[in-house]
Amino acid sequence: MKIRFADSRPSGDFALVLPVSGKNRIALDSLGADRSAVDAALKSQRFEGDSGSAAELFIPADGGVRRLIVVGTGDGTGPSEAAEKLGGALVGRLLISGEKQAVLDLSGLNYDADSAARVALAAALRAWRYDRYRTKLKDKQKPTLAELTIVGAPADSAGIWEKRWKPVYEGVGLTRELVTEPANIIYPETFVERVQAAIKGSGLEVEVLDGAAMKKLGMGALLGVAQGSVRDGRLLILRWNGGKDGDAPVAFVGKGVTFDTGGISIKPAAGMEAMKWDMGGAGAVAGAMLALAKRKAKANIVAICGLVENMPDGNAQRPGDVVTSMSGQTIEVINTDAEGRLVLADAITFVQRNYKPKIVVDLATLTGAIVISLGHEFAGLFTPDDDLANQLLDAAKSSGDKLWRQPMAESFDKLIDSPIADMKNVGPREGGSITAAQFIHRFVENGTRWAHLDIAGMAWSDKPNSTYDKGATGYGVRLIDRFVEASVEAR
DSSP string, 46-77: T----TT-EEEEEEEETTEEEEEEEEE--SSS
Cα 365 to chain centroid, rounded: 12
Up-side HSE of residue 394: CA atoms within 13 Å toward CB?
11
pLDDT, position 77: 62
Rounded-to-integer distance, Cα 192 and Cα 316, Å: 23
What's the residue count for the chain?
A: 491
Name which of 206, 209, 203, 344 is nearest 281 in CA terms.
Answer: 344
pLDDT, position 74: 85
Cβ neighbour number for residue 479 with a 10 Å cutoff: 26
Instruction: Give the architecture-level CATH label for domain 165-489.
Output: 3-Layer(aba) Sandwich (3.40)
Specify whether the CB–CB gap between 340 and 370 falls below 8 A. Answer: no
pLDDT, position 490: 82
Active site residue 66: no
Beta-bridge mates of residue 382 = 452
pLDDT, position 32: 84
Specify whether the CB–CB gap between 83 and 71 falls below 8 A. Answer: no
pLDDT, position 110: 86
Q: Where are the domains of the chain?
A: 2-155, 165-489
Q: What is the pLDDT along the chain (491 residues), one digit of tens a residue?
A: 999 999 999 999 999 999 998 777 888 888 887 888 998 999 999 998 888 899 999 998 888 899 999 999 887 666 788 899 999 999 999 999 999 999 999 997 889 999 999 999 999 999 999 999 999 999 999 999 999 999 999 999 999 999 999 999 999 999 999 999 999 999 999 999 999 999 999 999 999 999 999 999 999 999 999 999 999 999 999 999 999 999 999 999 999 999 999 999 999 999 999 999 999 999 999 999 999 999 999 999 999 999 999 999 999 999 999 999 999 999 999 999 999 999 999 999 999 999 999 999 999 999 999 999 999 999 999 999 999 999 999 999 999 999 999 999 999 999 999 999 999 999 999 999 999 999 999 999 999 999 999 999 999 999 999 999 999 999 999 999 999 999 999 87
- Options 35, 267, 298, 405, the catalytic residue: 267
Cα 193 to Cα 171, 230, 236, distances in angstroms = 16, 18, 10
Residue 123 buriedness (CB in 10 A; 0-12 / 13-18 / 19+): buried
pLDDT, position 79: 72
pLDDT, position 62: 80
DSSP 21: B
Q: Which residues contact 390 (CB under 8 A, 6 or more apart)?
A: none
Angle at 411 between CA 410 and CA 414, to 5 degrees: 85
Cα 210 to chain centroid, rounded: 26
The residue type found at 344 is L
DSSP 312: -
Specify whether the CB–CB gap between 402 and 377 falls below 8 A. Answer: yes
Active site residue 255: no
Specify whether the CB–CB gap between 358 and 244 falls below 8 A. Answer: no
Beta-bridge mates of residue 103 = 16, 149
> What pTM was estimated for this model as a whole?
0.96
Rounded-to-integer distance, Cα 294 and Cα 157, Å: 18
Q: Which residues contact 331 (CB under 8 A, 6 or more apart)?
A: 221, 322, 323, 324, 325, 342, 345, 418, 421, 422, 423, 424, 425
pLDDT, position 76: 62
Sign of the torsion angle spanned by Cα atoms 197, 201, 204, 205:
positive
- Options 67, 166, 341, 424, the catalytic residue: 341
Residue 427 buriedness (CB in 10 A; 0-12 / 13-18 / 19+): buried
What number does CATH give the domain 2-155? 3.40.220.10
Cα 239 to Cα 257, 265, 415, distances in angstroms = 21, 36, 36
Cβ neighbour number for residue 456 with a 10 Å cutoff: 26
DSSP 33: G
Rounded-to-integer distance, Cα 220 and Cα 227, Å: 10
Rounded-to-integer distance, Cα 354 and Cα 349, Å: 9
